Amino acid sequence: MAQPPQSTPDMPGALSVTPTVKWRFPSVHPEGRKFVLGAAFIALTVYWVASHFIGWLLILLTIWVAAFFRDPIRTTPRGDKLIIAPADGLITLISQVPPPPELRGADGLAEGTYTRVSIFMSVFDVHINRSPIAGRIRRMAYVPGKFLNADLDKASEDNERQHFLVEGADGLRIGFTQIAGLVARRIMAFVKEGDPVEAGQRVGLIRFGSRVDVYLPAGTAPRVLPGQRSIAGETIIGEVGANARLTGSSQ
């Protein structure tokens, strides 16, 4: 049975209306549209000229390409202390490490130990990456490298990668890194140094399957566990100053 409208405490007599949220088919990011159109052209050409069977296989491949570049709308929680997941995927590693050399310095991350949360993106995950906090892009550093399995711990140091450093209005600095993998061969950034960003704003993309590392500051315990899945722009992976660790089990 539908519930009657409720009055809000700050506005006696006023009706509280909950907006209706409807599912909608995700759009394809502009970066991926040329790949979708190219795959569709090849599939239809093969279907009509060479083989219906192979054509159908290529049509299915075209659908997968469109799904890979899907760009869903995300609802980002707001809060000065919240650190939001920059990537969709599986939390594969949580470890205590020093920050990357490219992000250290007086105007970067301080020396010390940080909690690194690694998010692995399979070829079936959304590959749009988002900013973990609101602020300004203070530093970006591209590092060429190998294309090892992104599941490996050493991928953070050996693989091709793109570092970001975001500084909030309160001086909080969060570093995160796009890392190429076995299949990924292109790391893209949608922002540049000096650009302002909102928490959950799209900042880059990786083709096709890889990993993103986030460096939580000292005194901040992760609010996720290995084996959990994160949603870019929505999952809270840490809250600054909250150092109570989570426990859990896989089942």
152 and 31 within one domain: no
210 belongs to the catalytic site: yes
Average pLDDT for residues 66-93, to the nearest whole number? 90
Measured distance CA(36)–CA(125) in Å, rounded: 17
In a domain, 11, yes or no: no
218 and 134 within one domain: yes
pLDDT band at 166 (very low <50, low <70, confident <90, very high): very high
Residue 176 main-chain phi, psi, to 5 deg: -150, 160
Q: Which of 210, 230, 249, 250 is catalytic?
A: 210
Supply the DSSP symbol for 103: G
Mean pLDDT computed over every residue of the chain? 83
- Residues 7-33: tens digit of each pLDDT: 444 545 455 556 677 777 777 777 778
Report yes or no: 164 and 197 within 8 Å, Cβ to Cβ: no
Name the domain count of the chain.
2
149 and 124 within one domain: yes
**Can you give the pTM of this predicted structure?**
0.81
